[in-house]
A and B are shown apart, each in its own frame.
Chain A
Amino acid sequence: MSEINDQLSKFISEKILKQPGRAIGGDEKLISSGLIDSFSLMDLALFVEDTYGVRIEDTELNADTFDSLDQLSTLIESRR
């Protein structure tokens, strides 16, 4: 799971935040904090789909489904 966390963290900091090297904690709030803005949610969903073959529906792209790397990687594990 920590491997998924690392990959997601790398993708988010490089491609979404444009701050390579910015480490994201496993329980750091992603959506409710605005760290990932709504315009980037789809990028994250496409990355998850391309990398892990796991589909996250657009109706699930909100803080109720996942709001941290830990929650997102658990979701990915459960669907693989």
Chain B
Amino acid sequence: MTLLPERLKALHTRTPNRVAVTLQFAGREDVPITCDRLLHGAAAFARTLAREGIQAGEVVVLILQHSEELLYSFWGSILHGAIPSIMPFLTEKLSPERYRADLTSLISVTRPTVIVTYPEFEADVRSALTASDPVRAVILTNQFEPEGELSLDTLRGFERNAGDIVLLQHSSGTTGLQKGVALSHRAIFNQLDAYNKSLSLNEEDVIVSWLPLYHDMGLIAGFLMPILSGIHLVLMSPFDWVRAPYRLMQSISSYRGTLVWLPNFAYNFCAQKIRDRHIEGVDLSSLRAVINCSEPVRWESHRAFLEHFEKYGLRRSALQTCYAMAENVFAVTQSRLDGEPLVVEVDREVFMTERVARIPYDDRPSMKMMSSGYPLENVQIRILDENGNDLPDYVIGEVALKSDCMLTGYFNRPDLTEKAFRDGWYLTGDYGFISEGELFVSGRKKDMIIVGGKNVYPQDLEMLSYEVPGVHAGRSVAFGMYDEEQGTEEVVIIAEVDSEDGAEQQRIADALRAHITKNSAIALRHVKVVGPKWILKTSSGKTARSANREKFLEELQKVSK
């Protein structure tokens, strides 16, 4: 079996009435979707694409929230042989103008022929279209073909080849450079074969997820993997989860969930915000693994989570880790579920200055690092120095990987695809080291900041800051600062202004917070407005982010002392 549609068909033939997905909506009854219902809904959407003259191999952009329609249009696109790509939905805080600009930019790179959305969102979508883009149809959810007799054999998705692109995942990139990660049927099956084995996935498993489907962890671990493996998926909306994180625990308990994936901040978030009265009677003993992935993994976050939920039956052995990226479909490494991820104590100073993970002697300051597990059986990992030479264990270098489940390429961006590889090895841009065969991810080469699992780029935030009156181009700097309490990074922006007047600086700081919050994925809190000559520049006049970060942290320490 080499194609996703063939797998869907086989699962349907074997167990048409098995519940494939349970969709949860806050304040409503759960919606069980059987294999039969899933295929009927998807086939109806495939007919909708045929009606609109959409061809196999064309890209379908889905702008839908957590819903049945999202499920059917995603799988329906695949049954039709078209390439679905899920786009984040507009959030309450984001400025509609910014969203439209992002959408226009995405369309110019991804070149979809059709966009699917809600009737109430049609005007916004249409206003993002331009005369030169290839979009031929905007399909609204009330224009889907009705479900009918299931005749899979006429669907064009069965005529595709294993090496054809089946879907696009979004990978982060700075504004205007968003990348669609193109994945083939073969790459997805190779990932699932290896990852299922590493997890010992079996028919008794139940995956519970609130993760957004425009993110690789949500799309693969919390959507494709369970559906294509014939495993029950209980899916709720990230929008509902963030307002009521206890719903995740209730769902695990009522559906006997066995596997959950969470970004690191969610361990802190759940431990801090879920009160006992929210989860009275909840039983978490069914969990085989709670897998920490997509942000730097922290032992302290695991400990807080365990302390909070142990009395609800959570087992210590369930706390696991993974290192993943869209370019490898998803998982690169996974800790062994019959053990615990290795935690090592390293000398803090040697780690920072010599880039080596060494066990501290005497009472030297140390820090705990937790591994992200072992490479999947189809993945090879190397740790490289700047010249591409292999580094020994415990020495920090760039993580490079090779596997049989790599991306076909960044969609319509051969230039970026070529740059991402060296001699057939994919350069991840992450720093790490190996110890006893386990990978420890220790930092990033690129200036990206990961805030609550969302990737943001300091250069984008700096560009936005220049739009605020009083802030001049080239005179602000953005960087990430790890927040121990929240278990994730926080963004800090420092802007240098002409005025030395405190009230005026305060006004600019407020304007910066409001503008960046409305025009980016983050809610900005830490803003420092300073007088002239605060920001450090390199000899070539460029802003040195890490030097300014150091300066800011030093000043912060002085204040707290």
Q: Which residues on A are within 8 Å of B, measured CB to CB?
A: 17-19, 31-35, 37-43, 45-46, 57-59, 61-63
Give Cα distance in the complex from A17 to B245, angstroms. Answer: 21
Contact with A along B372-391 (1 / 0, CB 8 A): 00000000000000000000
- The chain B residue sitting closest to A40, CB to CB, is B523
- The chain A residue sitting closest to B486, CB to CB, is A39
In contact, B245 and A31 (Cβ under 8 angstroms): no
Interface of A is mostly: loop
Question: Distance (Å) between the CB of B271 and the closest chain A CB?
Answer: 13
Contact A34 B243, CB 8 Å, known A42-B273, A58-B26:
no
- Measured between beta carbons, the chain B residues less than 8 angstroms from A32 are 92-93
- The chain B residue sitting closest to A41, CB to CB, is B243
In contact, A62 and B269 (Cβ under 8 angstroms): no
Contact A33 B93, CB 8 Å, known A39-B269, A43-B273:
yes
Number of interface residues of B (CB under 8 A): 23
- The listed residue (B26, B523, B525) touching A59 by CB distance below 8 A is B26
In contact, A42 and B244 (Cβ under 8 angstroms): yes
Contact with A along B264-275 (1 / 0, CB 8 A): 000001000101
- The chain A residue sitting closest to B273, CB to CB, is A42
In contact, B242 and A39 (Cβ under 8 angstroms): yes
Most buried by B among A31, A34, A35, A45: A34
Segment 12-27 of B: residues with Cβ below 8 Å from A: 26-27
Question: Distance (Å) between the CB of A13 and the closest chain B CB?
Answer: 11
Segment 498-553 of B: residues with Cβ below 8 Å from A: 514, 517-518, 523, 525-526
- Measured between beta carbons, the chain B residues less than 8 angstroms from A41 are 242-243
Segment 245-272 of B: residues with Cβ below 8 Å from A: 245, 247, 269
- Measured between beta carbons, the chain A residues less than 8 angstroms from B26 are 58-59
Give Cα distance in the complex from A67 to B235, angstroms. Answer: 28
- Measured between beta carbons, the chain A residues less than 8 angstroms from B244 are 42, 58
5 nearest A-B pairs in the assembled complex, by CB-CB distance: A34-B93, A37-B523, A58-B244, A34-B517, A58-B243
Report the tally of A-B residue pairs with Cβ distances under 8 A.
Answer: 57
Give Cα distance in the complex from A42 to B517, angstroms. Answer: 19
In contact, A39 and B517 (Cβ under 8 angstroms): no
- Measured between beta carbons, the chain A residues less than 8 angstroms from B526 are 18
In contact, A31 and B269 (Cβ under 8 angstroms): no
In contact, B240 and A58 (Cβ under 8 angstroms): yes
- Measured between beta carbons, the chain A residues less than 8 angstroms from B91 are 38
Give Cα distance in the complex from A39 to B26, angstroms. Answer: 17
- The chain A residue sitting closest to B245, CB to CB, is A42
Residue B470 lies at the interface, judged by CB distance under 8 Å to chain A = no
In contact, B243 and A61 (Cβ under 8 angstroms): yes
In contact, B517 and A17 (Cβ under 8 angstroms): no
Contact A38 B242, CB 8 Å, known A46-B275, A59-B26:
yes
Give Cα distance in the complex from A39 to B91, angstroms. Answer: 13
5 A–B contacts, CB within 8 A, in A order: A31-B92, A33-B93, A34-B517, A38-B92, A59-B27
Give Cα distance in the complex from A59 to B244, angstroms. Answer: 9
Give Cα distance in the complex from A47 to B361, angstroms. Answer: 46
- Measured between beta carbons, the chain A residues less than 8 angstroms from B239 are 38
- Other contacts beyond A19-B525, A33-B517: 20, CB < 8 A: A18-B525, A31-B93, A32-B93, A33-B518, A34-B518, A35-B517, A37-B517, A38-B239, A38-B243, A39-B452, A39-B523, A40-B523, A42-B244, A43-B273, A45-B243, A57-B27, A58-B243, A58-B244, A58-B247, A59-B26
- Measured between beta carbons, the chain B residues less than 8 angstroms from A19 are 525
